[in-house]
Amino acid sequence: MKAAVIGLGAMGMGAAQSLLRAGIETTGYDIVEEVLDQFAAEGGGRADAAAAAVKGADVVLVFLLNAQQVRSVLFGSRDGAVAAADLGTVFVLNATMGPAEAEALADDLLAAGMQVIDAPVSGGREKAAAGDLTLIASGADAAFDRALPVLEAISSRIIRLGETPGSAARVKMINQLLAGVHTAAMAEAMVLAARDGLDLKVVHDVVSESTGQSRMFESRGQQVAEGAYTPHSSVDIVRKDLGLVAAMAGDLDLPLLRHALALFEDAAAGGLGRQADACIARLLAERAGVELPEKG
């Protein structure tokens, strides 16, 4: 069993390391030299091109940022990874992307004689490093059978969503809708609480144990309460994800989604794109003339 990982960012690197720990021969590729060096130092294979990475691989994990990157690396004239792969290689699409893009990529991979699993991940950097990702995955049984050792090495939970690539991307979009709206709701709640002079740490503690709890309020609300904005995810990433959800929704009017997206677009336009997503609380606070806690 040979695996390749294209894209050694926070998530891809963790997955690649998990494969090495599981004893699976793994070659990595990234455009950043330093991460290739790091992976090679840890015992991984080092490829200087995507096509070289996938050569002879049974399973290829694609951990890129978006569908455009994936298409370019798989089918572009420069990288052309698919052209270099053996027929029947299983391509696992781990990036968060719109379902239309996931379906189009899957169609093109199948047409090129490859197998494909649409498998967006959740869990963040630490879980990736620990091999504890959650995979939502759709694809043919044969592809699953072949890729299973790889999928099990990087994840602690695999939720299968049928044989049609694209279903997993759709469920992931539903999750991103909620995560983004909850982050925006956290910002509204914390700015209101701050304006009224409440102790945000107490608010965070109480709400996290009550009916207003959300995973995002627990995590991002704590950042706002402490004034310490750790970029687990950025304004740009949430803006991108909510934009994909809005594109998927099409003419279905979802006002909370629309306003959460507008908030992240405003934040990005205001230069906060690379900041932690919780920084939209700062944007709301500034607009309202409210002071939030700042660490130090």
Catalytic residues: 172
Instruction: Using alpha carbons, list the distances in angstroms from residue 219 to 172, 193, 215, 288.
Output: 19, 17, 6, 23
157 binds a second copy (CB under 8 A): yes
Rounded Cα distance between 147 and 3, Å, is 9
Task: Quote the least distance from Cβ 229 to a second copy, whole Å.
Answer: 17
Task: Quote the least distance from Cβ 98 to a second copy, whole Å.
Answer: 12
274 binds a second copy (CB under 8 A): no
Q: Of the candidates 33, 76, 39, 10, which has an alpha carbon nearest to the alpha carbon of residue 232?
A: 10
User: Is residue 133 helix, strand or coil?
Assistant: strand
Rounded Cα distance between 207 and 219, Å, is 12
Question: Which residues, at least 6 apart from 136, have a Cβ–Cβ distance to it below 8 Å?
Answer: 119, 120, 121, 122, 159, 161, 168, 171, 172
User: Is residue 64 helix, strand or coil?
Assistant: coil
237 binds a second copy (CB under 8 A): no
Task: Quote the least distance from Cβ 260 to a second copy, whole Å.
Answer: 7
- Identify which of residues 58 and 241 has a Cβ nearer to a second copy in the complex: 241
Which residues ranging from 160 to 179 are in contact with a second copy (CB under 8 A)? 161, 167, 170-171, 173-179
Return residues touching a second copy (CB under 8 A): 99, 122, 134, 136, 157, 159, 161, 167, 170-171, 173-179, 181-182, 184-186, 188-189, 191-193, 195-196, 198, 202-203, 205-207, 209-217, 245, 248-249, 252-257, 259-260, 262-263, 284, 287-288, 290
